[in-house]
Structure 1
Amino acid sequence: LEAAVSAALNGSQLDISGLSLTAGGLKLSGDLKGRDLAKRPAFSGTLDLAEFNLRQWMADHALKLPSLADAKALTRLAARVKLNAEDGATRLNDLAVRLDDSQL
């Protein structure tokens, strides 16, 4: 896990830039901002999941794969999302997911 973190001394603002989390072949990166942390916390940012082999990652982490007819299924997964969280609700915007040859 790597990130550059800055925060306002009064606790009202938080910036996390260059967020990078790696677990095996999985790499998640992004930037997050928090505001009004002391009273009504709100967060926004972008998260990117770089393309990786989900099938291999699950096997490497001893996770059981579902039965699939195609041996190439679950071999390419990538995603990008913008998020906003405040007042107890989280909104995902501009969600883009690619799984094998399908896109959402």
Structure 2
Amino acid sequence: MQLLCSLDTLPTDTSKGFQLNDISLLAVNKHDNIHVYLNQCPHRGVPLEWQPDQFLDLDKNFIQCATHGALFRIEDGECIAGPCPGEMLTSIPTKIDQGQIWVNLPST
């Protein structure tokens, strides 16, 4: 596993982008539950954020693709609205240990 960041750098109900080993990731802290995904829309393969670290819709209930507005559930990455319903963001296995967020990156 690789260190992603300190838990303190991802306050509750926020999102943040990361680059590890040439892999683009996004992390969301939803009610103190951490969810990490590849930063890649399953529909077009493009990055999801509107601006750096802005992955969430206005109400902070969903991850939203800046390219076509698709909405993905934060909890499991499933698209629930937009051009790719039922498709999933690629989840990254995550572990919290002593205030640090660790991820298990896919092989490249």
TM over 0.5, shorter chain? no
TM-score, L = length of structure 2: 0.27
Larger gyration radius, structure 1 or structure 2: 1
TM-score, L = length of structure 1: 0.28
Q: Which has the higher strand share?
A: 1
